[in-house]
Structure formats: C-alpha cells, structure tokens
Structure 1
Amino acid sequence: MAKARAQLLAIHQDDIREDDAEQTLDESGDPLEESGRTVDSSDEEVEESVAEDIARFEDSFVGINKRYRLINRIGEGTFSTVYKAEDLEYNNFDNRWDIDEHESRKWASPSSRKRLLKRPHYVAIKKIYVTSSPMRIFNELELLYDLKHSDSVCPLITAFRHHDQVVAVLPYFQHRDFRDYYRDMKIPEMRLYFRSLFTALRSVHAKKILHRDIKPTNFLYNPQYSRGVLVDFGLAEREGTDWHPCACTQTPEDRRYRISHSHYAQIQHQPPSYPKNETRNSRRANRAGTRGFRAPEVLLKCTQQNTSIDMWSAGVILLTILSRRFPFFHSTDDIDALLEITTIFGRKKLKETSLLHGQVFETNIPSYSDGGHSLEKIILWCTGRSSKDEGTGLKKELEDDEKEAVQFLYRLMECDPTKRITADEALRHPFIARAFEDSEGDDDMDLVGV
C-alpha cells in the first residue's frame, strides 16, 4: 500500500497523562517470521546453533536437566523461547493435564498400559526472557493457572525460577505450521478449525480474560485430528485492567451531544489545517498484539477494550484462509493499519468507527472510496477469480459454502465492537454449527479439553 498522510485527532480530553510514545505493552513478533519457527521437528533435526542454545540454557538454569531432557527448540517469539523436552519424572506426579495419555490408556489393553508407562512423555518448556517485567511474568502464570481446566487452552503444568530466570512447563502438542496447510483448507476443514478456536476463546472470555494476541502461530492446530490449543498468554490481561472512560461506552445521545460540542464540530466548515502547537493531552491505551491482527478499537486507542478484540483477530485468520494470503494485512504502524482497513471498509465506516471512540479519522488519499469493497470481491480478487468465465462469459462468483463463510466473516470483522459476534454466538452460528454435522460419527474429532 502506498504511503500517504492520515491523521487522528482526539475529540475530547482524556484523563490520561502519559506521553503517547510510552506504550503500555509491547508488540508481539512479526507473524510471518514467527510462523517459520513453529514447525514441529524430530529429535534428530537439531541444528548446531540450537544445540548450543540448549547447552547455554542448561548451564544457566541449574538442575533443569535433572528433571527434563531438552530435545529441540520448537518456538521462538518476542518474549520467550519454547523447547521440546522429555519429562524424566513424569510417573512421579499427577498428570491429569495429559489428555492424550488418558485417551490412550482408556482404550489400551493391560499389557499395553505397561508399555505406555515406560514410553517417553514430552512437555514444552517456555523460557521467559529476563527482559520481561516481573509483573508481566506473574500475570501470564496467574492467567494460565486460572485457565487450567478450560477447553482447548494450553494449561500450565508447573513453573520454576532460578535467580532472574523463569520457565513455565506446558503440555507438548503435535501441530503443523499454518503455512503448510492454510492454502489447501476446504470449507468443512475451516469449520472444524474455527470450532476448536472459538471453543478456546469461549473458555477464555467466560473468565473475562483478553488473549490480545490471537494469530495462527498462537493456535497450535493439528489438521489430522481437527483440533488445536490456544497458547501464549504473555500479552493477555483481565477485562477492565487500567480502564479509563471511552466514548464507545456512552449512550448514542450522549455521544452525539459530545461530538456536536467538540472542537472537531467547530472547525468542520474551515479549511483543513494542523495545529502548530498541540495543547491537548495525548491519549494512552493498550496496543498489545501483532501487526495486522489488531482490531480497529485497538488502533484507535479505545481505553475500554474488551474480549471482542480477539474476535476481530480470529476474523483476520478466516480472511487469510479464504483469500489464501498470509499475512493478509502487513502494515508498518497503526496509521498504515487503519488505512489497510479503510481500503476494505471505506472512509465512511472508518470515520464512524473513529467517532465511536472519540477520535477523528481523516485521510487525503483520493483512491479510497467512501463505501470500500465487499469482502466477496476482495476474496475473488485474491484467489484470481475477478475476471469473467471464458466459457460462459458470466462473472465469477463464490461457491455457496464460501458465501456462508463470508457472511460469518462479516460478523467477526464488524468495526463496531458492540455489534461484533461473541465466541459463544460464533459456536452457534450456522457456519460453525455445520462442523458438528461434518464430523458426526467420527471419534477423532473430539475437542481438546484440559
């Protein structure tokens, strides 16, 4: 997308005093870079640099190799590194978290159960970087503990600290790199993928927790079993944390009154201009997450964000799969991100959304239309079906099941968070509900429970 000027102006003064440059939480890693590091590797495929990294970790964390045999590095992000390890003391503890083990034993013969006890059991060891604040680490471990019995959510087994180094021990889940399968997913497979994801989000949101970093690399999915687990709660927080009044929570009447009596309303009929000296306080809000997956209200610095931000991010994943483009959005900053959304939804929708949160959105890009483009058209463009059919001369259209997916996508990518579908509603939506019909009678389609 071409660079152009866009501007965000606050309609009213907030009760927030910090400078805009001071952000509350950090940005997660680039989704394209991260996805290349989530591939599950066999024990033999250990690169020399990874082996050296493991050796350094074992030297710095005294005693870790007595309880776990580190095998390989399976993930690396902005705030942590994850290793696959064998649990050397597995049989000495209660392992109710191990759903796969329970399922295996349930159907195994007595002789097979003895063999199961002797086989190696794997865990994922998450080494949290020492640059992370103590409060961030405590928050992540506390939320993981609270979610330990939640469906399709990766539970916390235990945690250790050695000096300033903290590690969290989590179940090890077999999964595939999102980039290996998303282009080949059919609609029935999409239903199963999102049934599992929204099952996890329903559990998380029921406890009033915002994950804040929903993206493919944080949902470990196994297409073979049509199930996945939600991981990485490093940016998660409880709903209501550090909230300040935002216009989006006011009644429509109060919001209209405030807008009509704002500085913005007074200069509507004047030539566009920029103040030489800005005297209003800057607005500070939580912007944690990953570029391309942030909801409009996050980009617009809403100070009362809720669980609906995760639903927008899930919608971006669905748009990615339907369009066969990853990452779909790839902006360099928040202004570019808003412009990318404007390309699809149009200037009118973005202006309305901005006013909803007490902000003004203006852009001087002439190519942006007021109405934007339909998601159907976007998907047809991205999948090379924008031209007419050579045989019939008719305009190409989406298949019926694709149209149903797009209607569901509109509910997820609703710019107004108050109108956005919830995780519980999503599981009852016809698009997801049909996943139960597709998997009826298949015993391998069970959701992951912990």
Structure 2
Amino acid sequence: MSSGDNAEEIEKLYAAVPRLCDIFCIMQKIGEGTFSSVYLATARLKSGEDMKFALKHLIPTSHPTRIAAELECLTVAGGEDNVMGVKYCFRNNDHVVIVMPYLEHECFVDILHYLSFEEAKEYMFNLFKALRRIHEFGIVHRDVKPSNFLYNRHQKQFALVDFGLAQGTPDTKIEQLKVLQIKKQERLLGYPSQRSVFGEKNFNVHGTVMNKNPTVKAIKQSKIDVESAKLAPKKTIPTKPPSDGVAKKSVRSTLASTPCECFARNQVCFVCLGRSRQVAPRAGTPGFRAPEVLTKCPNQTTAIDMWSAGVIFLSLLSGRYHFFNAPDDMNALAQIMTIRGSKETIQAAKTFGKTITCSKDLPAKNLRTLCESLRNVCSASMQFAEQDELQRMRAELQIKILEKEDGWFDHDTHTASLPGSTHKPESQAESMDIEQSSMNGWDSVPDEAYHMLDRLLDMNPATRITAQEALNHPLFHTV
C-alpha cells in the first residue's frame, strides 16, 4: 500500500471514530483481513512515555453479537498465558475499534529456516499454553495459524490473536458465544436469517433456504373421454424453461448417480465437486482446516485447534510453509490422505458419521522420514544459495522432484525464505548467530517430537491430543 493510500485510510478511520484523534497517533496499517483492518498507533501516557498499541477496526457490516463475542473472549480469557488482551474499545455508530497492546513480532515464513529445534519446541509449548487457556473457557478459536500467533523471537514473547471466528463449546463460559450457538443451530435447521451471524460467506449453501411448507397450486384435471383423446390430433404445448432451483436439483440428482472419475488423478473430479454439500461451520484458513471441518461435520470441538497446531508443527519440522495448499476442501482432504493414509482417513470419518470413498489404497507416510527428507532438501538448497546459478537450479529441481513424488504439492506451495532471497538479517553478527542456530538440534530431533506430531494429526478428533495433554508430553519435560 502506498503512503498516500495509507494516509487516506487513516483519515477515514479518524472521521469514522473521532474520539481516536484525542488519544492516538495512528502511524500505519499493519494488517488487513476479511473482516477487519489493524493499525499501529501510539498514545502519550501520563508518565510522558509514548506507548504502542494495535487498533483493530472491524468492518461496519460485522454482526453486533459477533463483535460482542470477540470482545468478551479478549476480556475474559485474554491477558494471560500468551492470549492477547484488550485495553479499550471505541464505538461510533456502526464503527468499532478494539485497542490492544502492540507486540512487535517476526514473520513466520522469514524465520522458519533460522529457528533451532529448541526454539521450535519453545514456540509450540507457548502455543499450547495459549490454547489450553482458551479451551478452559470453552472457546474454539477456529483460525489457529502462524499469523494469528505473534512471536517476538528476541524477547521470547507470544500472543494468540484474532477471535473474530471463535465459537463456543457446549459448556462455554463466554455468554455471547452461547448466543451465537443458538443462532448457529437456527441457521443449520434452516430458519431464515436477515443477516449473516458470523459475518462470513458460507459457500457450501446452494441457493436460499427452502420453505418447509411450500404452497403447491393444485391444477384440476378436466375429464376427457379416453377414446376421443386417442383420435384427437396432438397439440404442441409450449413448456417453460425449468427454474434455477429445479435445474440445480436435476444436476445434483444426475451427479449423485454418475460414477466418480477421481481414479488415477491428482485432484478431485468434477463429479465429486458438484455433489450437494452439507451445511456446517467451515471457518478457518485453507491448509489449516481439520478433517472434520473439511467433511462438514456439524459437531466441531476444540480438537480443530489442535489439528491446526499440528500443521504448524509439521511446517517447523519439515521446513516447509505452507505445507498443505489446495484449491478446495475435497482436494485438501486428499492431500491429508496422502500423508495419513486412506484407511486411517476412512476409519476416522466413520467415527463422526461420514463416509469417504477412495479408489486407491494410500499407505500412511512415516512422519520422520517425510520431514527429514524435506528439511534435507531445503538444507541442500541453502548450501547452494551462495554458489553459481546452475547449482541453485539443480537444488530447486531436486525439491520439485521430491514434491511431485505424490503429485499433490501445489505449484504455489513454496519453501520459506532462503539465503539469497528477500529476507536479510539486520546485521552480520545476527546473520552468523541465526546461521549457527539453524544448525542446532535439527540433526537429532527426538522421537518424542514425531510422537507429538502424530498425536496432533490424529484423524479422529475424539482421540486427538488436547492442549493440556500436550503440555504434559515428554517432549516438554526439559522446557
């Protein structure tokens, strides 16, 4: 974003919430999502010191209950155990600004290849602390990913942020999440709603909600003499083209009886993609969604956050980010199946009432072998980075060969920043320190790490490891 656009957006924010002018000096926009924008601002304290804050401006179309739920999550569960808290909240008409402490942090993709194993272990330990905290309050975050878990490497500070998509467990302690649960049940049962409860588009719903008691016009058929009808000349009766709803229903019924064409292909066929989908919560970021989310399981628990944490740990151990990258939910499930195995996926799906058909038997991969292979290839590329271009091209080719072994790595999936790329350490001393730490511990990752990864990526949410169990895992006995 140019400085002119940045200044214009800041002026619009000042105009939308005038009280901000008296307290904060907004410096720049530092983040933008589907439902909000985040700005860096400073405020003069009574002591005369300037303090930095993060201002989250929610889009005016956000549902009031959803805004209240996010605020309650921050105020009740936030401020402890690596969960972001809230300082102030400003509202003017339909504009809401949440003021939070500002944590200066590194970009995950920039430091991925420079973290030592001990740092990666410390990162995961602090993430589990944050997840244990919110899960104790009955909060399911639903969007756990590196950009929502801020990490200051030098000060060893962490913060789980962005509860805009959070939902509650059946025994949640967050009152506004209980309200959202009722709204969600109404939506799943087909009750019409004037506006989206979650402030998000549900791409799984085809068309509008159908009326349970549609009015059907009965046409009285006139009595016709059968014999005369046989002799009467046939008349051409103009027919109306089918409506969109009828056409869609016809297409779905046709697809339901059409045999699948996924066999021996590297992506899900149009037949499977065209089948009708079940309405269920599917919020989250592609690549981090749990199997029960991808299969539209209506009963989703805190286990979906633990799966997302497992994907982060998978990136740390393999040196690859994003690890999963699929254009849609069904291809995302197929990618997971190549890692965890088809039999395991099918069996796990049965436990939460889903049926998955796979035309090819895919064995589960050994997680250590997979991660070490990817990390060794990345290390080889790092060694070649300072040499001539031909050697670098060979290293990149080696990566592509490994990626295409199973045929599911997307071409947009890439390794994190390597030496010679856009990431440059601040000083030569820091560069040497980072280079030294990047070699520390990755040649002797203990079995406990891969046991932890296996428990996090358990296809069955009922037996997936919890945050409390993860903190008690032998991997963290030395933390």
Contact map agreement 1:150 1:204 (CA 8 A) in 2: no
What residue in structure 1 maps to residue 471 of structure 2? 427
TM-score (ref. length: structure 1): 0.67
1:128-178, CA deviations, whole angstroms, 9 ceiling, x for partnerless residues?
011322222121112212113432111111211111111111111111111
Q: 1:284 aligns with which of 264, 270, 279?
A: 279
Tell me what 2:311 maps to. 316
Partner of 2:33: 77
Judge conservation of contact 1:152–1:197 (CA < 8 Å) in 2.
yes
Does residue 289 of structure 2 align to residue 297 of structure 1?
no
Moved more, 144-153 or 217-226: 144-153
1:405 aligns with 2:449: yes
Deviation at 1:385, TM superposition (A): 5.5
Structure 2 residue identity aligned to 1:52: E
Question: Do residues 62 (structure 1) and 44 (structure 2) align?
Answer: no
Q: Which amino acid aligns with 1:200?
A: A
The aligned residue for residue 444 of structure 1 is none
Specify the code of the residue in structure 2 equivalent to 1:132: S
Q: Deviations over 1:8-65 (max 9, x none)?
A: xxxxxxxxxxxxxxxxxxxxxxxxxxxxx9xxxxxxxx83321221122112222211
Whether the 8 Å CA contact 1:315–1:413 is kept in 2: the answer is: yes
Instruction: Output the amino acid matched with 1:434.
Output: T
2:93 aligns to what?
163
Gaps of 5+ in 2: 171-180, 186-254, 259-274, 379-441
Residue 424 to residue 238, structure 1, CA distance change in 2 (3 Å): same
Q: Aligned partners of 2:351 and 2:141: how far apart in 1?
A: 23
1: distance between equivalents of 2:368 and 2:350?
27
Q: How far is 1:72 from its partner?
A: 1.4
Whole-angstrom distance in 2 between the partners of 1:145 and 1:432: 29
Q: Cα distance, 1:336 vs. partner?
A: 0.9
User: What whole-Å deviation, never above 9, does each CA across 1:352-372 have from its counterpart, x for those lacking one?
Assistant: 1211111111134x4xx4323
In 2, the alpha carbon distance for the partners of 1:431 and 1:78 equals 37
Cα pair 1:147 1:153 within 8 Å, conserved: yes
Q: Is the 8 A contact 1:194 1:432 kept in 2?
A: no
Task: Please say if 1:145 is aligned against 2:189.
Answer: no
The question of whether the paired residues in 2 share the 8 Å contact of 1:193 and 1:227 is answered with no
* 1:282 to partner: Cα distance: 5.7
* TM, length-normalised to structure 2: 0.63
Match of residue 96 from structure 1: none
Q: 1:281 to 1:319 in 2, by over 3 A?
A: closer
8 Å contact 2:79–2:86 — kept in the other structure? no
> In structure 2, how many angstroms separate the alpha carbons of the residues matched to 1:201 and 1:75?
23
The alpha carbon displacement at 1:79 in A equals 1.1
Q: Could you say which residue in structure 1 is the equivalent of 2:429?
A: none
How far 1:380 sits from its partner (Å)?
2.6
Q: Aligned residue for 1:370? A: 362
Is the 8 Å Cα contact of residues 319 and 374 (structure 2) preserved in structure 1?
yes
Partners of 1:55 and 1:234 lie apart in 2 by 25
1:175-254 aligned within 5 A: 175-240=105-170, 241=181
Supply the AA of the counterpart residue of 1:74. I
Larger C-alpha radius of gyration, 1 or 2?
A: 2
> Which whole-Å deviations, capped at 9, do the CAs of 1:219-250 have from their partners, x for residues lacking one?
01011122201000000111133688xxxxxx
Aligned position for 2:404: none
- Cα 1:80–1:434 shift into 2, 3 Å: same
Aligned: 1:379 with 2:374:
no
In 2 relative to 1, CA 344–137 (structure 1 residues): closer, same or farther, beyond 3 Å?
same
- Runs of 4+ displaced beyond 6 Å: none
TM-superposed CA distance for 1:334, in Å, is: 0.8
Query: 1:173-209: per-residue Cα shift (whole Å, max 9, x none)?
Result: 1111111211111111011111211111111011111
**Amino acid of the structure 2 residue aligned with 1:406:** Y
Computed over aligned residues only, the root mean square deviation of the Cα atoms, in angstroms, reads 2.6
For 1:385 and 1:128, how far apart are their aligned partners in 2? 42
User: Highest relative contact order (Cα 8 Å, sep 6+), 1 or 2?
Assistant: 1
The answer to whether the 8 A contact 1:300-1:357 is kept is no
Q: Counterpart of 1:257?
A: none
Other-structure match for 2:3: 47
The match for 1:87 is: 43
Match of 2:352 in 1: 357
Report the 3-state secondary structure (helix = DSSP H, G, I; strand = E; otherwise coil) of the residue aligned with 1:72. strand
Aligned match of 2:257 in 258, 272, 275? 275
Q: Is the 8 A contact 1:75 1:83 kept in 2?
A: yes
Determine the structure 2 residue equivalent to 1:13: none
**Secondary structure in 1 aligned to 2:18?**
coil
**C-alpha distance in structure 2 between counterparts of 1:417 and 1:342, whole Å:** 15
Separation in structure 2 between the aligned mates of residue 188 and residue 141 of structure 1, nearest angstrom: 34
Distance 1:131 1:310 in 2: 27
1:327 counterpart residue number? 322
1:281 offset after TM fit, Å? Answer: 9.1
One-letter code of the match for 1:370?
L
Aligned: 1:336 with 2:380? no
One-letter amino acid of the counterpart of residue 373, structure 1: K
Shift of 1:402: 4.6
SS across alignment from 1:383: helix
Q: Deviation string for 1:342-396 (max 9, x for gaps)?
A: 11011111111211111111134x4xx432311122213312359xxxxxxxxxx
Please say if residues 41 and 53 of structure 2, whose CA atoms lie closer than 8 Å, have aligned partners that are also in contact: yes
Structure 1 position 68, deviation (Å)? 0.9
Percent pairwise identity = 38
For 1:135, which of 62, 65, 72 is the aligned residue?
A: 65
For the residue of structure 2 that corresponds to 1:362, the secondary structure is coil
Match of 1:439 in 2: none
Shift of 1:327: 0.6
